[in-house]
Amino acid sequence: MVDVFNWQIKRDMKYPYAAAAPEKQFAAVFDINKCIGCQTCSITCKTTWTTGRGQEYMFWNNVESKPYGGYPLYWDFKLLEKLGGGQWKDGAYTGKTIFEKAAEENKTVEGFLPALEDWSYPNMGEDEIAGGSVKQGMHIETLPHPLWFFYLPRICNHCSNPACLANCPRQAVYKRKEDGIVLIDQSRCQGYRQCVSACPYKKPMYNATTFRSEKCVACYPKVEQGLQTQCMEHCIGKIRIQGWLSAPDKAREDNPIDYLVHIKKLALPLYPQFGTQPNVYYIPPIHVPPPYMRQMFGPGVDAAVKTYRENVPTDPILKGLLVLFGSAAEIMTRFEVKNDIAYGYNQKGDTVAQTPIVEPHVIREHYDKKLDVYRLDVT
Ligand code: SF4
Ligand code: SF4
Ligand code: F3S
């Protein structure tokens, strides 16, 4: 084990390999406030990648309803319990990561292998509310009401310290130098499933037909052509944006992902306390009780919610960037906002998205003199 610096938990931590940052790091931001739970992302991924034998149960992209849902069941609660609910102090995590906890027992990664049945209920807890009685919540005068749930879309995080990679005895898991995407080499994999038990997000999945494990491949054939992944491109709620994340000290104001993650600190990693430094970031839901959010996204939640509530409506740059979500098929490496229009540019500098911050409204007269007709639906 060597010391690597993990900026998400603001301290050095133990990991089996020395830090080796890729040339570019695949990353994405999901705005949970906009997710409608339509599962289009799950299905676009499924029809692209997991229609084969042995893949029937697999959802490389899944969307679960929190707090009760989970695919596989209770993937997060089980691990959080093992870690014993770690604490944060001054923005730094003072508890143990999954690597540090495992070292106490001479293991590489603390984890568990889900039972087969635990993968069978991807919709468990869907739309189930928490936090009070329906009667309370139904009264408009009690708003903001005490009832809550939210959708949590999840893919592989293409982590900077991947637990799947750390734990594979065959060294079949690798992180690509050119884009930080984490893949399983199918020719090396022998189906030991140590990657499945190690991944805290439970994103590698075992194929009992090929006797090998598989996982989200970040749609690398598309990424290599400068295109966003299937799940990003086809998201109906336009909650996703994909790009490249710089190290915190190299963050660029005009890079959409850097701006949201490092500069505005509006998008946060999921369970940073696990220690893998995941690269999918979430804009937290603003209506959920803060203690639940803090254990899920760390201590930056309160500031992120405040920014979303107070700055997004008034800050044209932030507002502009949020309307660029889901507005292009290509990866936007740069953005700018001019005269209330948000522009996204690809790697070559071409404009690939151009979106007005406020959509123009056109209201037609209900009586059209020229045609002498009445329109009932006039908006
Ligand atoms: Fe590996 Fe899991 Fe991280 Fe994906 S989310 S890179 S499978 S540890
Ligand atoms: Fe599936 Fe591609 Fe999205 Fe991964 S990036 S979940 S492979 S659609
Ligand atoms: Fe390694 Fe996982 Fe295959 S542990 S051998 S990649 S099943």
Cα 164 to Cα 183: distance, rounded to the nearest angstrom: 10
- Please identify, by atom number, the ligand 1 atom nearest to the C-alpha of residue 278: 3
How confident is the model over 320-375, as pLDDT tens digits?
Answer: 999 999 999 999 999 999 999 999 999 999 999 999 998 888 888 888 899 999 88
Task: Tell me how many degrees the CA angle 330-336-337 measures, rounded to the nearest 5.
Answer: 120
Q: What share of the chain in percent tops pLDDT 70?
A: 95
pLDDT in the model for residue 144: 53
- Burial state string for 188-207 with b = 16 or more CB within 10 A and e = fewer than 16: ebebbbbbbbbbbbbbbbbb
pLDDT over 90 at 318, yes or no? yes
- Please identify, by atom number, the ligand 2 atom nearest to the C-alpha of residue 230: 8
Mutation choice for ligand 1 from 61, 181, 215, 280, CB with most ligand atoms inside 8 A? 215
How far is the centre of ligand 2, averaged over its atoms, from the C-alpha of 252 (Å)?
26
Which ligand minimizes its atom distance to the CA of 171? 3
pLDDT in the model for residue 364: 80
- Please identify, by atom number, the ligand 3 atom nearest to the C-alpha of residue 188: 5
Which ligand minimizes its atom distance to the CA of 162? 1
DSSP string, 61-125: SEEEEETT--SSTTHHHHHHHHHT---EETTEE-S--HHHHHHTTT-S----PPPGGGGS-TTTT
Q: At 145, phi and psi to the nearest 5?
A: -80, 160
pLDDT in the model for residue 359: 84
pLDDT in the model for residue 168: 98
- Please identify, by atom number, the ligand 1 atom nearest to the C-alpha of residue 198: 8
pLDDT over 70 at 139, yes or no? no
How far is the centre of ligand 2, averaged over its atoms, from the C-alpha of 274 (Å)?
22
Residue with the smallest CA separation from ligand 3 atom 1 is: 168
Confidence at 143, pLDDT banded by 50, 70, 90: low
pLDDT over 50 at 23, yes or no? yes
Cα 198 to Cα 204: distance, rounded to the nearest angstrom: 9
* SS3 (DSSP) at 257: helix
Q: Per the structure block, which two tokens stand in for 132?
A: 């009070």
How far is the centre of ligand 1, averaged over its atoms, from the C-alpha of 182 (Å)?
7
What does the domain layout of the chain look like in residue ranges?
4-305
pLDDT in the model for residue 375: 82
How far is the centre of ligand 3, averaged over its atoms, from the C-alpha of 97 (Å)?
22
- According to CATH, the topology of domain 4-305 is Alpha-Beta Plaits (3.30.70)
Closest CA to 27 of 252, 258, 304, 285: 258
pLDDT over 80 at 290, yes or no? yes
How far is the centre of ligand 2, averaged over its atoms, from the C-alpha of 85 (Å)?
31
- Please identify, by atom number, the ligand 2 atom nearest to the C-alpha of residue 217: 7
Among the ranges 119-133, 143-157, 290-304, which has the highest mean pLDDT value? Answer: 290-304
How far is the centre of ligand 3, averaged over its atoms, from the C-alpha of 190 (Å)?
6
pLDDT in the model for residue 140: 47
Residue with the smallest CA separation from ligand 2 atom 3 is: 231
Q: Are 62 and 71 in contact (CB under 8 A)?
A: yes
Confidence at 85, pLDDT banded by 50, 70, 90: confident
How far is the centre of ligand 3, averaged over its atoms, from the C-alpha of 227 (Å)?
29
Cα 370 to Cα 379: distance, rounded to the nearest angstrom: 18
Average pLDDT over residues 115-137: 83
pLDDT in the model for residue 361: 85
pLDDT in the model for residue 30: 98
Confidence at 377, pLDDT banded by 50, 70, 90: low
pTM across the whole model: 0.93
pLDDT in the model for residue 137: 45
How far is the centre of ligand 1, averaged over its atoms, from the C-alpha of 316 (Å)?
35
Q: Is 231 in the pocket of ligand 2 (CB under 6 A)?
A: yes
pLDDT over 70 at 48, yes or no? yes
How confident is the model over 239-267, as pLDDT tens digits?
Answer: 999 999 999 999 999 999 999 999 999 99
How confident is the model over 171-182, as pLDDT tens digits?
Answer: 999 999 999 999
